[in-house]
Amino acid sequence: MKHISVMLDETIELLNVKPDGIYVDATLGAGGHSLEILKKLKTGRLIGFDKDADAIERTSKRLEAYQDKITLVHGSYTQIAETLQALNIDSVDGVLFDLGVSSPQFDDPTRGFSYRFDARLDMRMDQSQALSAYEVVNEYSEEDLIRILKEHGEERYAKGIVKKIIANRPVTTTFELVECIRSAYPAQELKKGHPAKKTFQALRIEVNDEFKEAREAIEQAIDSIHVGGRVVVITFHSLEDRYVKEIFNKYGKPAKVNPRIPVVIEETLNYKLLNKGMKPSKKELEDNNRAHSAILRGIERIG
């Protein structure tokens, strides 16, 4: 399946790319957003991050024509601050996050991200890390697995699924896991969509420490932009959007004051919210299935 960047035009417009600006693509992936940024740069520069070595190799070829304007970093986006420091860059004009797994990762049967293919349980974005979905599924305690499925997947049937997993350990492949999940679901629920979706999401988030790393990286990004600079984030499920909204509000909204307490608080905000969460157009939803749950948010430094 060809990877189509979600909300490409809206994202680039919200980022407000300047020809001489310095930009960070924190989630390089297939390079769709990076390519559009690079097209708008004249003397500017782009730094791209990805934990996935395959993505770095693949996308460096795609962006070869712009190699004088781009620096690619094989590593987590939690390294934004230290990388900018190492490159002697004090601040940047914009940072983009396209959260979640890229289509090439989902569509590679060997990576174990998808319940559509039978493969060894893996789900590592960074193939050099030790922890994979196999270890989580087979070595975590019952209590921890239930917590992960509830917190990261909002899975109603977490307890039943985990009991099936433990009864069938070792669970080695994606299809073996799907069978555990399916057998724990009530028959009427199986008609509402694939039963493995929430569990696979929860395991992927746990394996890659997605929430913790994304929170840390977004805060680093907000701190790294100068006046007029913007941080733009695309999320793909409600849990992601919840914490992105929370972080943006912390920087871009006045603190709540108890109206019963007669205190005058002078507060100068250094950031402003650029929108309340933008959703894909009807046409994009028809053309790109991956866009269905996407929400685009932006914040700008103003002081």
Predicted local distance difference test score (pLDDT) of residue 265: 53
Predicted pLDDT of residue 267: 62
Residues of the chain below pLDDT 50: 1
Cα separation, 268 vs 82, in Å, equals: 28
Looking at the chain, list the stretches that DSSP marks H as alpha helix, in order from N- to C-terminal side.
8-15, 32-40, 53-62, 80-86, 103-107, 133-139, 142-153, 158-167, 174-184, 197-208, 210-224, 238-252, 282-287
What is the chain's Cα-based Rg? 21
C-alpha closest to that of 223 among 80, 40, 17, 73: 80
Give the pLDDT of residue 103. Answer: 72
pLDDT reported for residue 262: 62
| Distance separating alpha carbons of residues 18 and 263, to the nearest angstrom | 42
What confidence score (pLDDT) does residue 150 get?
98
Going from the N-terminus, what domains does the chain have, and what CATH number goes with each? 8-104+210-301 (3.40.50.150), 110-208 (1.10.150.170)
Residue 233's pLDDT is 99
Q: What is the pTM of this model?
A: 0.91
| Predicted local confidence at residue 289, as pLDDT | 84
Q: What is the DSSP string of 107-144?
A: H-GGG---TTS--BS---SSTTSS--HHHHHHHS-HHH
